[in-house]
Each structure stands twice: as structure tokens, then as C-alpha cells.
A = this chain, B = another copy of it.
Amino acid sequence: MLIKGRKCTRELHRGIVHASWLSMSNTSSLWPRFQKYFVRLPKLGFAIDISRMTFEDDLFDAMAPSIEKAFADMKALEAGAISNPDEGRMVGHYWLRNSSLAPADLRAEIDDTLEATLKFAEDVHGGVIKAANGQKFTRVLVVGIGGSALGPQLVAQSITPANPPLQISFFDNTDPDGMDRVVAQIGAEIATTVTLVISKSGGTKETRNGMLEAAAAYQAQGVDFTKHAVAVTGVGSELDKYAIAQGWLARFPMWDWVGGRTSVMSAVGTIAAALQGVDVRGFLAGAAAMDAETRTRSARQNPAMLLALMWFSAGKGKGAKDMVVLPYKDRLVLFSKYLQQLVMESLGKEHDLDGKVVNQGIAVYGNKGSTDQHAYVQQLRDGVNNFFATFIEVRKDRDTAGFEVEPGFTSGDYLQGFLRGTRKALADKGRESVTLSIDEVSAYSLGVLVGLFERTVSFYATLVNVNAYHQPGVEAGKKAATDFLKQMGQVLASLPASGSGVTADALAGQIGIDPEDAWHMLSHLSANGRVKIATLGETPSADQFLRV
């Protein structure tokens, strides 16, 4: 890691001393600065403008060693290095859109899987693959969580037709009421619904629960779930074995070298996308095109490296500033949430690659403009200056013929006016922003954006020396949850069936667990008719519980 030493830190700070130009922007044009820090890729329909970030030009020199290392790390990663050392895994999501880069033994599998997912969708659309009742499928239900839901959700929101060939629904949680609501909305159409159960490990509890809830919903209407169920999971996983044993409609592989948060271009994303009529090959081509550009361009002309440097400069390499994502386009509202997962789960790490405690990360939030101007932009301009904004501009207004809402101006002119106006209003108050522009929202351009941010995350991870491809912090919560459930079983088993009831303290003491946990379990169970509150006391320790 090259930027750790004292000298480098000093060098670096030269580069990110905050310039005075922002406060001048009320009066003087930033046209020269804009052109200096504006990179456009017309073939990709993409441009990036970092002129409203407060770095100074020597940032590039100060960071040169780190930049070189980031390029070298990426080269090694794309060549199949074990870039996820904690899990001993390769990192191959870049291969999904260009299999010729992948290790030779993986190429055929990547290509074949893509073909198979597209063929599956084609067969569903053509009625070759049908519902158990012999009718065509009309809906798709995705059961997954994290990357296994958010990728398909992003695609569904942003690049599907308004009325796609199959409508999509999601079970993306283990909330019984949430699933009931989705089932009620699907209604009798469940008889023509295909369900994708997506879990890389095949052991994610929320998804296992969702699968069982889905199966129950089919059964309740007398439909054979197995004839409607498709698994997307690692070969040989628990889910894979289950799908084989039950004779599911189809199975597609996931690989350990693709992380959940970067899986949207694997079968995780492509099946649902293809079922909804998305141009999947265009989506992959957009990402491949951005990959190609950001693989070879020098730092100053490289959108992904520019973005990584801006993240570094804004947050002093420590995530000191939140990233607020503001796409001015309804279709892209979930892109903010997609980046929240991609960036925070990749970069939010306790240790660096040398084992030092660093507590890295960048907090990400946002929805869409101009809507958010009527929500929290008040704080962005006037309040705590703890963020930098990322505007996403879409130049094309609409596919239909527009009209003027007042002489000379369309709704889309207003949308652009609000973006430019807000960017200026923020800059006038010393609030930093990056602006990305795309020509239109399409499968291709969404691929361009996904490719850009994936590579930015990879680059930034080198700049701050963390492993961007694991998520060790998630395990602690899962383990605590498992303990909690095990103890809940003990609590239920130890409850008296009669008498005046027992307190959480007494029960916890008997079992040897924390009385606070016992009390919460009992309160939850009583709200669901599985435990009776004999006495509601003045304080939790005075509450008394009985078996129902």
C-alpha cells in the first residue's frame, strides 16, 4: 500500500486541500475548469464532470503510486488472481460480459449459462415451457435477498417495458405479512406464475423461508409448486440438491467467483430480465464497453478512476463524506439503492488488507431528482456539509412525442433546469458534486453505469487497501440471530402451562440466558398468540407469562 507513509499522506493532502473556486462560482464562469475535468465517451453515450469537486490538480500526481497499484490490481483481478483473499476466491463479475477474459476452463460455462437463461425466457414467452395448467406463464416471482433481489429489482424498475410480457413480484425478506401481501396481489394468477428461488450459497434463511412460503401459496390454490419453480444457486448447494430431489422446472448455476452485489449480469439477473423482455445482450454490452474504456484509459481520462479519486478526495480516504445519489429520472430511482449496497457492502470494512483496523466505508443514500429537492435538498444546501452529491443526468426526455407545458418549454426542460439549478445552488454554498450524463435510459446505458461503479469500487478498494469482495461483518448478526432463535425454543419449552405465570428473569435464570432476550421473545410470542401474558407489570421484569 503506497499511500500509507508519512510523506505520501502529506503529498496527498496537497492534492485535496479545498480550493477556493467554489465560493467564486457565483460570479465567474467555471467553463475552463469544466472542460479540463470533463470526460465524454460519445460511443457509450456517457460523460463525467468532476469540475464541482474541490480537489486541486496535483491530486493526480500525489496519488500516482496508488493509481498505478489500482490499475495493476485490476489487471491481476481480471486475469483470475485470488483478489478475495479472505475467502480464497477469484473475482469474476467482469467476465460475465466478456467471457474471453475468464480463465479458459470457465468460458464455456459462462457462455452456456447465458444462452440457457435466454433460451429459457424465449421458451416461456413462446409457450414451449408452460405452467402446470398448460397455460402460458404470465408472472414471475423472485425469491431472494440482497444482491439476489436488488439487481433484478433495479432491472425491473429501470429498463423493462411499462407492460412487460411477465409482471414481476418479489419476496425479498422473511416478513410473513409482506409475503402475504404479495400473494394477495398475485391472486389466482399464481397458477401462471413462475418462481425463481435465488441464493448463491443455497443456505440463506430468508430465501429458504420465502421458498417455503411461496410453495405454501401455490399449494393453497392447488398448484404444484415444483412445476413452477426455478433454482439459481451454486451447483451442489443445499438449494440445488433440494431442487433436484423435488424435480423443479429448471436450475441455473451461480459461481463462488461472483459476489451477490455484483451478480446482476449472471443468471441471478439475466433470467428475470429476459422474462420481462429486457435486451439482456445490450445490458451486458454496455458494461463490457465501459469495462473496455476504463481498463485502458489513463487516470485523467478514465471515468472509473476519476470517480474513485473523487470519493477519496471528498472523504479524505476515510469515508468522511456521505455520497448522495441523485438520478434525475424516475426509472433510475433504485439505482441509488443499488449503489448503496454495492458501495457500502464492498467498502465498509473493519480491517485493511494488512490486518490493520481502519473502519472504512462510504455511506450512500438518495432517491431521485427533482423529487428529492422537495425532501432533503434543503439540508444539502443549508445544513451539515457532510456529503458530496452524484447527479445523474439523462439527456433524452421521453420516447413519445412531447408537448410544451408553457411556450417553449417541455416537462423535460424543467427536469434539466432543476438538475442544473440545484447543482449550481449546491456549488454556490461550497457543496461538492459529480455529474454523470447518459444519453438515455436503456439496457445498454444501465450496463454502462453498472460497469462504471463496479470498477470504481474495485479501484477505490485499492486506494484504501481493503478487500471489496467479502462481507465478514454480516456473520455476527446471523450468529446472534441463530442463538436468539435457539433460546426462543428453550423459552417456549420451559414456560409453565398454569399458575400465575413466570417472569422473564426467572425463566432466563432457569435456562441460563439474558433476561432481556427472554422478555423480547415472550413479548413477540404473545403478540402472535403463542404465549399468554398473565400479568402486565409496571416494568418488564414484573410481567408474567404462561403457555397458551
Interface residues of A (CB under 8 A from B): 29-31, 34-35, 38, 40, 42, 145-147, 149-150, 162-163, 172-181, 184-185, 187, 204-206, 208-210, 212-213, 216, 260-261, 318-319, 322, 328-331, 337, 340-341, 344-345, 347-350, 359-365, 367-371, 373-387, 394-400, 402-403, 405, 408-418, 420-422, 424-426, 428-429, 437, 439-441, 471-474, 476-485, 488-489, 492, 505, 514-517, 520-521, 523-524, 527-528, 536, 539-541
Contacts and interface: CB of A to CB of B under 8 A. Distances in A.
- In this complex, which of A34, A147, A365 has the most chain B Cβ atoms within 10 angstroms of its Cβ? A365
A378 B474 contact: yes
Given A374-B474, A527-B396, A480 B424 contact: yes
A337 B417 CA distance: 24
Given A177-B398, A416-B524, A480-B422, A31 B380 contact: no
B216 A330 contact: no
A527 B440 contact: yes
B421 A480 contact: yes
A29 to B, nearest CB: 5
Given A34-B516, A424-B480, A516-B34, A331 B181 contact: yes
B481 A411 contact: no
Given A384-B318, A527-B439, A375 B175 contact: no
> How often does this chain occur in the complex, in copies?
2
A390 to B, nearest CB: 14
A298 to B, nearest CB: 16
Contact of A417 (B181, B319, B485): B485
B344 A176 contact: no
Nearest to A426: B477
A541 B31 contact: yes
B379 A363 contact: yes
Nearest to A206: B370
A377 B476 CA distance: 11
Given A350-B381, A425-B476, 20 more contacts: A173-B370, A175-B411, A176-B402, A176-B410, A177-B331, A177-B397, A178-B331, A213-B411, A260-B374, A319-B384, A337-B367, A341-B375, A349-B383, A377-B474, A382-B473, A395-B524, A402-B528, A409-B485, A416-B524, A420-B517
Question: Which interface residue of A208, A216, A368, A370 has the most chain B CB atoms within 10 A?
Answer: A370
Contact of A384 (B147, B360, B411): B360
Contacts of A373: 146, 474, 477
B481 A417 contact: yes
17 contacts: A31-B505, A34-B516, A173-B330, A174-B411, A174-B414, A175-B328, A205-B414, A213-B405, A337-B367, A344-B376, A350-B382, A363-B384, A382-B472, A395-B524, A408-B492, A413-B485, A414-B481
Interface core residue of A38, A370, A384, A394 (most chain B CB under 10 Å):
A384
Nearest to A439: B527
Contacts of A479: 421, 425
A371 B424 contact: no
A360 B347 contact: no
Contacts of A395: 523-524, 527-528
Contacts of A425: 473, 476-477, 479-480
Q: Shortest 7 CB-CB distances between A and B: which pairs? A: A348-B379, A146-B374, A178-B330, A361-B383, A348-B383, A421-B481, A421-B480
B528 A396 contact: yes
A29 B420 CA distance: 54
A402 B340 CA distance: 33
Contacts of A349: 378-379, 382-383
Given A35-B541, A364-B376, A417-B481, A359 B341 contact: no
A415 to B, nearest CB: 5
A406 to B, nearest CB: 9
B177 A441 contact: yes
Given A181-B162, A341-B376, A365-B363, A536 B42 contact: yes
Given A146-B375, A395-B524, A180 B400 contact: yes
A31 B539 CA distance: 11
Contacts of A409: 485, 488-489
Contacts of A368: 173
A413 to B, nearest CB: 6
A35 B359 contact: no
Contact of A478 (B212, B421, B536): B421
